[in-house]
Structure 1
Amino acid sequence: MFYYHMSIDDTCNALATERKGLSRREGEKRLKTYGRNEISIKSDPLWRKLIEPFKNVFMLVLFIAVIISFSRQSFFDGIIILVIMMTSAVIYYVQQFTTERILRSLQKHTAQRIEVVRGGETRYIDDSDLVPGDVIQLNEGDKVPADVRLMTTNTLRVDESVLTGESVPVQKNTDALHGKKEVYEQSNMLFQGSFIVSGHATGIVVYTGNSTEFGHIAALSRKSSEASTSPVQKKIDKLLSYVIMGVGGLAVGAFILAIVRGIEFSEALRFVLALSVSAVPEGLPVAISVILVLGMRRMAAKKALVRSMRAIETIGVITTIATDKTGTLTENKLSVQKTWQPEKNQHHLPTIAHRTINHHGQHTRDPLDIAMIEFTEAEELVQLKGEPIKKLPFNQTFSMSGNIWHHEGLYELVVKGAPERVIEHSHLSSANKEEAEQALQALTSEGYRVIALATSVVKNPVEAFEELSSRHVFTFVGFIAVADTLRPTARRAITTAQLAGVTVRMITGDHFETAYHIGRQLGLIQSRDQVFDSREIGNLTDKQLQKRVATSFVFSRVTPENKFRILQALKMKEVTAMTGDGVNDVPALSSAHVGVAMGSGSQIAKDAGDIILLNNDFESIIRAMKEGRIIFSNIKRMLFYLLSTNIGEAATAVISIAIGFPMPLSPVQILWVNLVTDTAMVIPLGLEPGEKHIMRVKPITPTSPLLSRYIIFRIVLVAVTMASMAVGMYAFFNMRYGADYGRTVAFAALVVMQWANAFNARSTFQSLFSRLKVINKPFYIGLAVSITLQIIAMFGPLKNLLGIYPIALGDLFVSGLIAFTVLVFVVELHKLWGRRCVMDPQE
């Protein structure tokens, strides 16, 4: 039901109320029927929340590893993996709790006592006790407690920026409206959460709680804030699903080969289980968690507070940033941008402007008055003679407001208002009027809101504009053009994002012209065709909207519901980040892949965001994006290292059995290589510094695989090289000194090749020798730990447990040198070919 269509009497009839309000008994009855004026959201059942974190490929990998460990009676390993699983679950539960905070914050509000008419008598009640049909009275400075159909207004102006994103207060009236109107067009309605800037009003409460516009935003947030998997996680899950299938096939094949070769059944089973553990990168989940936590700390130092771990990996692959204008690209603060006066005008415009301010000596909430105060205070020549004795509030008929000043027996009325009406009431010649209208056209065409100033002498003080004579004329002074102030770093940050291959889209509640000109100032658009008037969105299907948003980079007249649909359309082909600071941004913030809230914004927006920019600087999102790209590149480094080394270990065993050799590594040696070397080196690779050109390449597309064909080929190349070298060394030393000697050499060579591969993994195209210039202390610490453990394994108390046979140091050194050199040489050749022939958008 659209109450803005109805007259006041029809609204009273529809709500079964009267102008004198409900009776006390009826108010209590309706409170039981409609419930309290609070937002309430249904949540998922507890059992669904508990099992949710275990429904992914990562957990399946770890669960398989637990079964294998317990089947081998390696209870310690199994318990460690279970701890990893529970840690991941706890991280999810914390994330889910954060999501629920969004919904709870929509219910939070400062208790407010509202002046309500019950049974013809005025009384004060808590805003949570309001019901549809209540008649309430609101005054300047009040926060609107529910959705209200206005009955009476007196110079009422309302700040609705929290819902619409418009920084300029809107004028309200009581006239019924015709046709479908958006929130920002419903001039006879007040909405929960907005503020009365000036004037006072009475109205009928039409919606409370979840039925308000604020409640609708809560419902959108609920739909969009359900747990979702990040785009990077989806790619990793898909890759791991292939790994699991491959490991399963490899295990079955290896077991059959082992039996065919005459290996005893229990030994073959032990071998296959060890092989399966070595092939599965079960350490990847905890390694990613560690580098994400460390990334959160680094980003916090750069004034970007990360509240969702998945946001760090996702911010590195975003392809578009959809940003709110007010408070994000701008400071949500009106300022005087330009002024204009006729050439022969003798009045000092800043002085006249200061005289029109409605709250001299008082605190004001009016953004226009604040802008004019700041403008005139910066002018040294402003000289105020006399004192203001009367304030004339904004009059809708005259479309102006003003003050009467008294000085040395003279009364002067100075006014500001709509340019057309001020010009109409001013004494101007035809030529001067034409000149003023041309200047007005020029200023409005640049997207400015223009205020006209005028002055006149009156014989006596007046209380309202209606008291002026019909022949009263003003002396026109000039125009002041105001606009929301752009953040100084916004243009630079947008340019940086565009150079990184990330598109930026501005979403605002402003008029088309204002949005167009701000978009041009920021370098977002070149033509009007790239601006989408969101009032058309209701006529478009989802597919039509998807095509439209693909070519639009500025969106005007956007409501919260529009913003939500725009984000949904963008997400079909883009990885999106959404920035904002108001209640109207909440659905889009929680719907985007990464929600970025401003630290100075509303608490609801901050609760909805995955990342909070503590310094309110849009440029911080670019720094966060760079950090995310570094982390994403490092995740790929870890994957390359783990998959290539694990496949190399598995291939070593399978090739040996296939060609009829005894197993070159015992099961316990396979597990040692997998556990010690991988664990010591994989996390340091995740902390590798970013490459210089990381913000000069395009992001990976949502449909692209996590690992390119170039990297997959290198994984296979490394695995084959490792397996060939290990099997070859085993065969050579086995023939000369026996199986135990050959197995020990192969074991040591395989570990050395893991170290070589860690050096290879530090960069995709850059030579190992060039990359050595980039210092990564954790890498060398991890390498030192791995070398120390290997020395203990070879020469310390663990050698008997691991089946290490005494070998000559010369053989150990030469075989290790060959293993290291050959693997580095092979990968260097591949990198050289890649630098000349391959264009990888990720490195």
Structure 2
Amino acid sequence: MVDQKGQSTAPAVSEEVRAQQALMGDVDPSLTDAAEVAKALNVDPNVGLSEAEAKRRLEKFGPNELASAPPVPKWKKFLAQFQDPLVYLLLAATVISVIAWFIERGHAAPGAEGGEALPFDAIVIVLILIVNAVLGYIQEAKAEAAVEALAQMTAPQTSVLRDGKVVRINTAEVVPGDVIVLAEGDSVSADGRLFTAASLRIAEASLTGESVPVGKKPDTLPEAKALGDRANMIFNGTSVTQGTGRAIVTGTGMNTQVGKIADLLSATEDEQTPLQKEMDYVSKILGLAVCIIAAIVLAALALLEGFHTTQDIIDSLLLAVSLAVAAVPEGLAAILTVVLALGVQRMAMHNAIVKKLHSVETLGSASVICSDKTGTLTRNEMTVERVVTPSGEVQITGTGYAPEGKMVAADGSSLADAPALRAEVIATLAAGTLANDGDLRKENGKWEIVGDPTEVSLIVAARKTGAMKGYEQFSRVAEVPFTSERKRMSIIAKDSTEGGKLTVFAKGAPDVLLSFCSRIAVGGQVRPLTEGDRQTILATVERLSSEAYRTLGQAYRPLGTANLSEVPGVRANAAGQVTDIADQSEAIETDLIWNGMVGIIDPPRTEVRDSVAEAHRAGIRAVMITGDHPLTAARIASDLGIIDKGGKALTGDQLDALTDQAAFDKATSEVSVYARVAPEHKLKIVESLQRQGNIVAMTGDGVNDAPAVKTADIGVAMGITGTEVTKQSAKMILADDNFSTIVAAVREGRVIFDNIRKFLRYLLSSNVGEVFTVFFGVVLAGFLGITQPGTQGVTVPLLATQLLWINLLTDAAPALAMGVDPQTEDVMNRRPRKVTDRVIDASMWGDIIYIGVIMAIVTLIGMDMHLAGGLFTDRSVDALGHDAQMVEARTMGFTILVFAQLFNAIASRSHAQSAFVGLFSNKWLWGAIGLSIVLQLVVIYVPFLNSAFGTTPLSALAWVECIGLAAFVLVASELRKCVLRAMERSKR
């Protein structure tokens, strides 16, 4: 285990680690043949473990996880709720209250009414502190549960071979003996011994410090070597940058190289979000302001009246405490966290998994969404519809992945009289199917794909046409894998019917693959490829691309030998073996014979056009970035409304020609479609848009997309097709790979941010109202009748316990309810906010001060109406005396302030829109208001609580006065909003 400082606190070797070490014995996998390693681990590399055996090993060897810091005990989390300066201040108030109670008890004559039986002020303060701590603990627990649920949704996954099938499992379930299937973009989840590899390169900088990806081969090492030189081993925590491979897991969890370097692990503290930092800043400003106000008030009292007794000093200190209690909303941090967590959970329910709560703040500010085309703007149901060969063109019927359809002539007629064209189509589809890493399976009556949808579309077309009949004898012996830079893939296959002779089959972007072809197959004959042929093929590419087809070319080349080492240009070792053919593409991919090309259609998602329109209304620019042909990109973009009809796409080559930064930035400010771009272009586009002051969301799926995704303000990884490396770099994962989900997440981000501003406006204006009530109640005490002529000392308008109760009553439930307020109609009809904009801007401060002053005025008027010698009334002192009147007046002020804040909750839902628009749309808010009213009635009418809170039952007339005065907060807010709306209309 690891403590908070990263120190190892776990035993040197756990039972799980010892069990793994015993399984391998003294075998060093890097010095042992892969077959022997498989034997030691009791696994068939071609089949993998069975599910039952994997489950047994998981129980025995434990989950594939690094030991982490032990969880913080619940009692420590609860005590942490008291670690706050405000709590220390309230505890000081408790001590002062107890001292005051002792003094009052000591000076009270026997039988006199002066001494209370219990220090109710101190007891109530302590009880409210405990209640606040319980609420904070519950809220934080809910937030932690939400974050944990998100962590489970974004848990990394690994491809393994189980029962002969490649399946995806949670990385934590990988066990020793599992066969890991590696591909470009995968994160390596355990230590293992390679037994196959094709152009495999792995970035191991996190483990060895080697900055350049390391080439991997399955050859057994002749001698022990350093970690960075073990080319036949893979290690946990590294990532695949190129190629494919398979490895047998030799160690998981703490039995990996990373696990053994325990001092590299450290627990990191959660960094505060910008929003949390601003809340801290606001709290400090409020606290400082209150301290200044308290100091001024105390200084004025000392100069004007003087402190004649110990009671005067205690009353003055309690006044300062009351001001502090009134100023700071105690539950603000916890409420903020819970509102963010609830919002993120709602996003997750709609397929947008936000990995960090603070990313919600950025989402609402997005001004540009850069998206890939395939699968995000389109349905990712790739279907081969056209096949064009030198002899003509055919159409493949049927859509989707069900292999149901047939080939017909482009005009829909039969191909019975075109045997040459039919043979060329079959040869083209067969080449694309052989040079392919995808798979098509039928599970539970449903066709499912494994691998890249574009590759699987070729398999589907081949099954529809029976193209693989006559090609079953070919088996792959080597490959040169596809990369985004090469834009092509080649395999070498052995023909079992021709004495094992080898043939190269290749597929790739037609313009790229064509440059490696020197011959063409026409009517069963192979002849030299002419310049005219090239122009015809390229013209066909242009035509298909303009019709929104994605094109892939296919080619082949018989090698004329069964021995790879005999192929001209291929390098072999001293023993005549070729072990690095994947690195010798120049010898393999040359003198190819052109078969033909396929046109693959991926129809746009029907819902995306509406989402693009919604984004444009919200001032958000949609940008398409794709590796497809410019005409294809432009056609899809115009269909979706990203650009107008006839709009152009900018290519990667054209971007490279813009060497001047100003010219590059000008281009990215005007162009919204980019085609034939490489991953490095995505990064340049993101950086350029950011230089222009945009908040950029960028989607990505491949490993080379990770830098752009990480650099973007909102990196978005594809949940279905995305690589693990990209998912780790992203701030958000799309579970459905759908552009509309991004727009919906931005909308939700705006709603969450709006709701945060709503409850901040509410909380701060309510607390400022409490401060003003206490401040003006003391300053104007003589005018309001709070202090009677001839009396000495300080009489606070409201007790600290009453202020604490108000905060407890009105802070938590109504603020949380406002945090889930339904979205307003204009949420996507306004420009994005800038991240530099303050959460609490000048306009909101105007709201806060205005409502705070109104709240204080109506509260003090209500108290004045029940006191003798007041400014508005001059009620005579009744038989019970001034003290009884003061209790009644405080109860009035106490109750008015509670109801004023509840009316404020209704008014604070919008800065300018009337509170009566959608008045009952938030049922949670009305529930919170109802609960607050009931609890306030309990405090007023339960005798025991009368003593604890200094209250007394109110008459029916007093209730009319309370509600009438409190409602003026809502009236005043509506008047201000009317003025604001009128000013806005005059501007327009």
Say which SS state the counterpart of residue 635 (structure 1) adopts: helix
- CA apart distance, 1:822: 2.2
CA contact (8 A) 1:404 1:461 kept: no
Q: Aligned in 2, Cα 1:273/1:752: closer, same or farther, shift over 3 Å?
A: same
Distance in 1 separating the partners of 2:434 and 2:426: 15
Q: Aligned in 2, Cα 1:474/1:780: closer, same or farther, shift over 3 Å?
A: closer
Say which SS state the counterpart of residue 292 (structure 1) adopts: helix
Alignment of 1:370 with 2:471, yes or no, is no
Partner of 1:616: 737
| Residue number among 222, 229, 233 corresponding to 2:272 in the alignment | 229
| Residue number among 882, 900, 915 corresponding to 1:768 in the alignment | 915
Matched ranges for 1:755-834 at <5 A: 755-772=902-919, 774-797=920-943, 798-805=945-952, 807-813=954-960, 815-834=961-980
Q: Aligned in 2, Cα 1:664/1:500: closer, same or farther, shift over 3 Å?
A: same
| Residue number among 744, 750, 756 corresponding to 1:629 in the alignment | 750
Distance in 2 separating the partners of 1:318 and 1:613: 16
Partner of 2:514: 419
Partner of 1:688: 821
- CA apart distance, 1:306: 4.5
Q: Aligned in 2, Cα 1:401/1:590: closer, same or farther, shift over 3 Å?
A: closer
Alignment of 1:315 with 2:360, yes or no, is no
Distance in 1 separating the partners of 2:863 and 2:942: 22
**1:685-719 per-position Cα deviation (integer Å, ceiling 9, x unaligned):** 22211112212222221111112333221221111
Task: Letter of the 1:248 partner, please give it.
Answer: C
Q: Aligned in 2, Cα 1:624/1:532: closer, same or farther, shift over 3 Å?
A: farther
Matched ranges for 1:426-575 at <5 A: 427=527, 434-440=535-541, 442=543, 450-452=551-553, 478-482=596-600, 492-504=610-622, 527=648, 556-559=677-680, 563=683, 566=686, 570=690, 573-575=693-695
Say which SS state the counterpart of residue 700 (structure 1) adopts: coil
- CA apart distance, 1:636: 1.0
Instruction: Out of 501-510 and 646-655, give the one that drifted further.
Output: 501-510
Distance in 2 separating the partners of 1:536 and 1:794: 78
TM-score (norm 2): 0.58
- CA apart distance, 1:647: 0.9
Matched ranges for 1:573-722 at <5 A: 573-585=693-705, 594-600=714-720, 601-606=722-727, 609-661=730-782, 662=786, 663-722=796-855
Distance in 2 separating the partners of 1:732 and 1:137: 90
**1:609-665 per-position Cα deviation (integer Å, ceiling 9, x unaligned):** 554433333322332332222221111111111111111111112112223433432
Partner of 2:332: 284
Distance in 2 separating the partners of 1:75 and 1:485: 65
Task: Letter of the 2:539 partner, please give it.
Answer: Q
Say which SS state the counterpart of residue 786 (structure 1) adopts: helix
What 5-or-longer segments of structure 1 have no aligned partner? 1-23, 29-38, 115-125, 131-135, 154-189, 199-208, 212-218, 408-412
Task: Letter of the 1:816 partner, please give it.
Answer: C
Q: Aligned in 2, Cα 1:362/1:273: closer, same or farther, shift over 3 Å?
A: closer
- CA apart distance, 1:269: 0.9
Partner of 1:299: 347
- CA apart distance, 1:828: 0.8
- CA apart distance, 1:784: 1.1
CA contact (8 A) 2:633 2:649 kept: no
CA contact (8 A) 1:649 1:670 kept: yes
Partner of 1:837: 983
**1:360-385 per-position Cα deviation (integer Å, ceiling 9, x unaligned):** 99976885653322234456xx6787
**1:439-468 per-position Cα deviation (integer Å, ceiling 9, x unaligned):** 345557999775456899x9x998699999
**1:578-616 per-position Cα deviation (integer Å, ceiling 9, x unaligned):** 544454455665666555443333445445555443333
Distance in 1 separating the partners of 2:555 and 2:729: 46
Task: Letter of the 1:480 partner, please give it.
Answer: V
Matched residues, number: 719
- CA apart distance, 1:222: 12
CA contact (8 A) 1:453 1:478 kept: yes
Distance in 1 separating the partners of 2:811 and 2:897: 12
CA contact (8 A) 2:477 2:494 kept: no
CA contact (8 A) 1:512 1:531 kept: no
**1:419-457 per-position Cα deviation (integer Å, ceiling 9, x unaligned):** 35657445588876654443345557999775456899x
CA contact (8 A) 2:433 2:462 kept: no
Distance in 2 separating the partners of 1:787 and 1:440: 72
Cα-Cα RMSD: 6.1
Partner of 2:320: 272
| Residue number among 75, 86, 92 corresponding to 2:126 in the alignment | 75
Distance in 1 separating the partners of 2:271 and 2:298: 39
CA contact (8 A) 1:649 1:723 kept: yes
CA contact (8 A) 1:389 1:403 kept: no
Partner of 1:21: none
Say which SS state the counterpart of residue 733 (structure 1) adopts: coil
Instruction: Out of 267-276 and 571-580, give the one that drifted further.
Output: 571-580
Q: Aligned in 2, Cα 1:783/1:453: closer, same or farther, shift over 3 Å?
A: closer
What 5-or-longer segments of structure 2 have no aligned partner? 1-26, 32-63, 98-121, 159-170, 180-188, 205-212, 220-237, 247-255, 259-263, 394-417, 440-449, 481-487, 498-502, 508-512, 522-526, 569-590, 787-795, 868-873, 878-884
Distance in 2 separating the partners of 1:138 and 1:254: 81
CA contact (8 A) 1:143 1:193 kept: yes
Say which SS state the counterpart of residue 811 (structure 2) adopts: helix
Distance in 2 separating the partners of 1:687 and 1:514: 42
Say which SS state the counterpart of residue 911 (structure 2) adopts: coil
Partner of 1:736: 875
Say which SS state the counterpart of residue 479 (structure 1) adopts: strand
TM-score (norm 1): 0.67
Distance in 1 separating the partners of 2:600 and 2:458: 9
Q: Aligned in 2, Cα 1:668/1:258: closer, same or farther, shift over 3 Å?
A: farther
Task: Letter of the 1:791 partner, please give it.
Answer: L
Distance in 1 separating the partners of 2:627 and 2:814: 51
CA contact (8 A) 1:564 1:587 kept: no
Say which SS state the counterpart of residue 859 (structure 2) adopts: helix
Question: More helix by proportion, 1 or 2?
Answer: 1
Task: State the percentage of identical aligned residues.
Answer: 23
- CA apart distance, 1:504: 4.6
- CA apart distance, 1:805: 4.1
CA contact (8 A) 1:669 1:747 kept: yes
Distance in 1 separating the partners of 2:285 and 2:653: 42
Partner of 2:289: 246
Say which SS state the counterpart of residue 309 (structure 1) adopts: coil
- CA apart distance, 1:684: 1.8
Say which SS state the counterpart of residue 696 (structure 1) adopts: coil
**1:819-839 per-position Cα deviation (integer Å, ceiling 9, x unaligned):** 134222211111112223249
Instruction: Out of 138-147 and 247-256, give the one that drifted further.
Output: 138-147
Distance in 1 separating the partners of 2:653 and 2:281: 36
**1:725-752 per-position Cα deviation (integer Å, ceiling 9, x unaligned):** 2222323332215542433333322222
Distance in 1 separating the partners of 2:913 and 2:190: 64
Distance in 2 separating the partners of 1:660 and 1:83: 36
| Residue number among 858, 863, 869 corresponding to 1:725 in the alignment | 858
CA contact (8 A) 1:512 1:557 kept: no
